[in-house]
Amino acid sequence: MATKEEVQQELNDILGVDLEFSDMKSDDLEHLHSLVKNGALIEPLMKHIVKTQGKSALEEQVDNWYPGKIASRLL
């Protein structure tokens, strides 16, 4: 099992950010890591954008996306 620091580092690597997760419980951090790694946070957002604003709006969002942009809003 990975340490909290290892999970934090991998999550930061995936998101392309350098966020501090020390206040987060280990179980919550692992759950967030799992959600991010499996795309579970981004997929519903993409579906919502297409449904409410259309496919072109999603394409614009993707073109302007950078790693960690969505996660930084959530945190």
Q: What is the pLDDT of residue 28?
A: 93
| Mean local confidence (pLDDT), 7-26 | 88
| pLDDT of 75 higher than 60 | no
| Mean local confidence (pLDDT), 17-29 | 90
Q: What is the pLDDT of residue 39?
A: 79
- Of residues 4 and 47, more confidently modeled: 4
> CA of 16: how far to CAs of 13, 31, 52, in Å?
5, 18, 28
* Rounded Cα gap, residues 33 and 71, in angstroms: 11
**Model confidence pLDDT, tens digit, residues 51-71:** 888 888 878 877 777 666 666
